[in-house]
Every structure is written in structure tokens, then in C-alpha cells.
Amino acid sequence: MKPKSIVLILLTTIINFNLTVSQSSDFGIYKCKNNTNTNVFKQDITKSLTSLTGHVASHGGFYNSTASTRVTSTALCRGDIGPDECEKCVKTAIPSLLRNCPNHAEAAAWYSDCIVRFSHGEIVGVLDTWTFDKLYNSASVDKGEVSEFSEALSELTVKLTALAANGGSVRKLGFGNVTVVGSGLVRTIYAMMQCTPDLSKEMCRKCLFNASEEIGKCCRGRVAARVFYPNCFLRYSNEHFYNDPPLISSSGEAKSGKKNNTTRTIYVVVPVICGSLGLIVIGVLLYLMKKRRNGSLSKEKTTSFSSLLDEQKQTSMKDAAGMEIATVQNLQYDLKTIEVATNCFSPKNTIGKGGFGLVYKGVLPNGQEVAVKRLSETSGQGVQEFVNEAVLVAKLQHRNLVRLLGFCHESKEKILIYEYVPNKSLDYFLFNSVKHGHLDWAKRWKIIGGVTRGMLYLHEDSRLRIIHRDLKASNILLDQDMNAKISDFGLARIFGVDQTLGNTNKIAGTLGYMSPEYAMHGHFSVKSDVFSFGVIVLEIVSGRRNSSFYQQDDVEDLLPLAWKHWTGGRPLELLDPALTESYSKDEVVRCINIGLLCVQEDADARPSMASILNMLNNNSITLPEPKKPPYFLSKGLLLDISGDADKSYVTINSEDESSTSKMYPR
């Protein structure tokens, strides 16, 4: 075994001794509805609930039981806890639920480690939305960190929602963390999202979308919060709270109490012993590894970009892009050059973050300033996006697209080098109460035109038809002359000449800019990019984010606000108050009209980028009237939760919720 592997194993072992500690069921929340006084029915409830004990952990952390065909009970344990903790939580919840909801036909109990509920109706395989609850920490991040914290959390929940929804019939679970860079501070957000595994993929996604929306409403800037539904939950914190990996086996039986007691004793005593011995062993191994490197006993070979393509099975993409391997390899930088350029990836050089790592400012030996995107080693999706972005962007040449200068894939490092764009990103100016005054109407009009031309190039004018899939304000960079440059092609997809629609089971991107057909069904096309473009246009005009993650509860979301002003004959009321003078009324109204045309629910009704450019440049064209936009991800986020326990209904009538990445390409 390699010394480096031994070090990692020892470190993991020592850390896990301290982290794998049972989290007690430190609270209980109960919701009850539909009164009943029938003793027989009460007996069925008790029988159904008590039959859950002893079966939940042995069935992978989820189990359902029915008594006399009248009452069904279910129990879900957190996917990261052990079988003993699971059974303990269920046994605690059942008598408490009976005690707190003694005369009801339906009830739910939420604990830290489990959800237990019963109903007189069918609840297995059914998305239940009759109630929810939330808890949050009273502490908040500093005011200057709120935006960065919120956008990073939103981005993380999008990924975890997709991960959980794509889980199997035993467990639908997603957990992970994201690093927040802003205001000179670096902090980590940890999050877990889980559904009952009896739900379909679509049901799980809807449930977790609702939980994400509630987090945005109640807990903006809070350092920790939880939202519970009968079928799912979301929890996040600035402290590590989950075990990794999940501990409950789908086939393993719960441990005996005796064995459990022994295990707990070991957890207390062994860390002290192992910690001391482990540090000594690690020190020796590190010394040997350093000596081995200095003595050149072995050299790690640079992995060529072509082999990385083969690893990721991206041959079809390579062929489609017409990339010659020799040409691609000419773009390769060695790691030592990048380390010198960024002062060994100094935190002082950090200028932003993306979905897969941090971005640094660097200076090459020839004096050229560059933006260096370094993919983190823990990025599960990073390799594919690295290949995707390098192959795509290296062949894209347009003044409104960020230029890729090269890449580095050496040892475990995966690095992309871009031209440095000094004015950072559009959101840096647009949503900053001080900076947005620098964006007069002339600059905003110029930015809209630049984004239009860049997207038209991607959709129609390049040799490939490329769907960006993550167009948003933070992915539009501004050069020294405030020209717009589209960045971040990590999620982009190539379309064939005759292809018009793509599908994916892995929903990734930014909720505030997602079209309804993509967010709900995974369908993407040039028209889903057009939807994102429309959101950006309305944001530029109004100076407001399209996101409930960033709005207070009493502030109306952007799309319904724009529609209200438009149908009320007062479109200029949407205009950013900072634009008090020197703007063109006709241009503003035209942009609002175009923005609303782009965010129509019917994808076919949205204009193409070529039509949009024509609309912007030709004032003689009479623009069509837009139809009402789909507010499908706000005000209930896919599901309209009225709060009334007796109502349970679904609407596809809500608006988007946004997450943004920072300043430079992901």
C-alpha cells in the first residue's frame, strides 16, 4: 500500500472516531389533523405504529406498516446514522406521537434522527403536503456575507436535490458541503436532504424544492436551519453534523444493545490512544514520503488530456468539437508555472468561487494576468465538467465569450486558465447597493446586447450548437470597457445540427434562471437558455435578483412583479430606482417586453436569440404581447402549500429561486 494511502486511512480513522457519535433526538415536533374518537381506530393506530419497531433499521432506514387496512404508518431514519440510533429514535417518537395526537386520524412527528407518521388514508408512494415545519438557529452570518452565503447554499441544495431524487428504492439521500468565499472570510456550509424512498424521482424533487423554498423564506443568512415535510427534510449548518458515509445497511440487522454499549466505550477511550499513535505514524510516513520525493525514487507522470478524455468517455464530444489532440496539448500548462503565477494558490489571490472549486488571480511569466480555476479534489462531478469546459471553450472564439488560455491536468490537479476580466461579474455591480450606481442605462443596454450576441453565437453561429444551461448574472463577466463576456461552460451541452431537445436525469444549474421544463422534467434546449436570458434582462432593468433566497418575506418576486407592472400599463415602475435620469423610455419598455417574451411558460412561444437581436436593433418591429410567466419555483416552489391541514393540492404555478456562483467561471 502506498504511504499516501496509509496516511489518508489513518487520518480518516482518527477523524471518524470523533465524528461518528450518535446524535440524540434532541427535539420533537408534532402535527395532527382529522379528529377521531373511535376506540377501534385508536387501537389500529397503536398497532400499526408499534409494529414499526425492530424493522426500520433492518430495511435500510425506511419501513411501513398497515393495521386492519385502515391505518398505515411509516418511519424514515436519517440515512447517515447507525441502526441503533435509528431504532432508538423510532422507539422514542412512537409513544410521544400517540401522546401528543391522541384523537387524530393523521399525524406526523419529526425528530433529529427520524420521521414517524400515521394516516387513515394511503400514504405509501404518495407525496404528502398537508403540513410542514421548520427550525433555525438565531445566529446569522455578518451582513456583508449574506449574499455569498445564500447563493452558495442555493447552489448546494440544487445539487443535493438532484442527488437525492436520483436515489434508489432503498434510500433517497444527498449530503455534502460547499465553501463560501466572500468579505475576506472562508466558511463551509454542510447540508443534507432526504426523501422517503417510496416516492418517485419527480415527487422527491418536488418535496425538496419546497423545502429549499421555505429555507429561502424563513432563514436568509441564518447559520443553520431545518425544514421538515412528511416525505422529506432539508438541514444545513455551518458545522459538520452528518456521518460520512451512510451507516444503515439495507440488509444489515440492528446491533444488540450489548454490542452497542461496547462500541460507545471504545469511542470514548480509543481516540486518545489512536490519536497519539496515529500522529506519530503519520509524522514518520510524511518524512519518508518527503525523502522519497527529494530522492526522486518515483515521479508522478503527467496525465495527458487525451487520456482524461478516454477516462470520461468523451470521445464523441471530442469528435464533435473537431479537436485535434495535438492542438489541445498545446494549451497545456505545467503545474509549477501555475503555482508560481498564483503564489502557490495563496488565499490572498482568491477572487471567487465556482461549483467545483476556487478561482485565483495569477500572473504568467510573460506578465499576462489570468484567472485560474482550480477544481477541488472532492468535486464528484468535477472531472467531467473539466473535460467539457476545456474542449468546448478552447474552440469558441467570440468577443462576448470568456477566452480559455489553457489548462493543467497534472497529478491530481485539474486547472483551467482564462483571460482575466478586471471588472468581475455583472451581479457584483447589479445587486450591490453601492456599485450598481456605476451601471447607467447606456452600460446596461450595452451589456444586454453583448449577452444577446454571445448567446446567438453559441446557438447558431458557431460550428456547434451549444446549450449553455447555466446562464446567470454571475456568469456574465465585464471587461475594462464593460463589454459582457459569457463564462462557465461546465454544464454546457453540444447539440447536433438537427437536434432541438435534450433530456437529463441530473438537474443541475441555478433555480432562479431555470426554465420550467428543465427544472421539472430535465428537458433542455436553446429555448431553456432563452428563458435564462429573459430573467437576466429583467434583472438588469430592475436591479433586482429573481430569487426568494435574497428577498425579504414582504418583497414581491421579480417575475410576478414585472408581469403586474406590464399588465397594469406601468412597465417603467419596474425600472431600477438608481436610473433616475438619462435613460431611453422606449429601450427600457422594449427590454421588459423582450424579457417577458423570453420567460413564457410555452417554450415554443419564446423567441430565438436571432429574433431577440433583431428586436433590440430594429425599433420599427412591433413586438408581440407576452403571456403570463410561470411562477413555478417561488410562492411554494412546484407545490402550492397553503398551510391549511385540510388542503393538499399541486400547482405548477410558481417562480424561480436563484443561486449564483462568484465572479469567475466555475
Point out the annotated binding site for ATP. Answer: 373
Q: Considering the candidates 80, 128, 470, 576, report the single residue annotated as catalytic.
A: 470
481 given a catalytic annotation: no
In 432-586, DSSP assigns E strands to 465-467, 476-478, 484-486, 493-495, 502-503, 523-524
Half-sphere exposure of 193 (CA within 13 A, CB side): 27
Identity (one letter) of the amino acid at 292? R
Per the CB < 8 A criterion, the answer to whether 76 and 128 are in contact is no
Q: Which helix (H) or strand (E) holds 546?
A: none
How many other C-beta atoms lie within 10 A of the C-beta of residue 413? 16
CA distance 112 to 538: 41
Asked if residue 245 has a cis previous peptide bond (ω within 30° of 0), the answer is yes
In sequence order, which residues have a C-beta less than 8 Å from that of residue 38 and are 6 or more positions away? none
As a whole number of angstroms, the distance between CA 647 and CA 632 comes to 19
The rounded distance, in Å, linking the Cα atoms of 513 and 469 is: 9
β-strand partners of 417: 372, 406
Cβ-proximal residues to 505 (8 Å cutoff; 6+ apart), any chain? 166, 201, 522
Q: What are phi and psi of 528, to 5 degrees?
A: -75, -35
Instruction: Write out the three cell numbers for 184.
Output: 475576506
The radius of gyration of the chain's CA atoms, rounded to the nearest angstrom, is 27
What CA–CA distance (Å, rounded) separates 451 from 444?
A: 11
What are the CA-CA distances from residue 397 to residues 458, 529, 531, 624 (Å)? 10, 19, 24, 33
Measured torsion, CA atoms of residues 162, 164, 166, 167, in degrees rounded to the nearest 10: 170
Complete DSSP assignment for 409-433? EETTEEEEEEE--TT-BHHHHHT-T
Q: Spell out the residues 6+ positions from residue 35 whose beta carbon is closer than 8 angstroms to its own.
A: 103, 104, 105
Here the cell at position 425 is 461579474
Cα distance between residue 229 and residue 624, in whole Å:
42
Q: Does residue 282 sit in helix, strand or coil?
A: helix
Which are the catalytic amino acids? 470
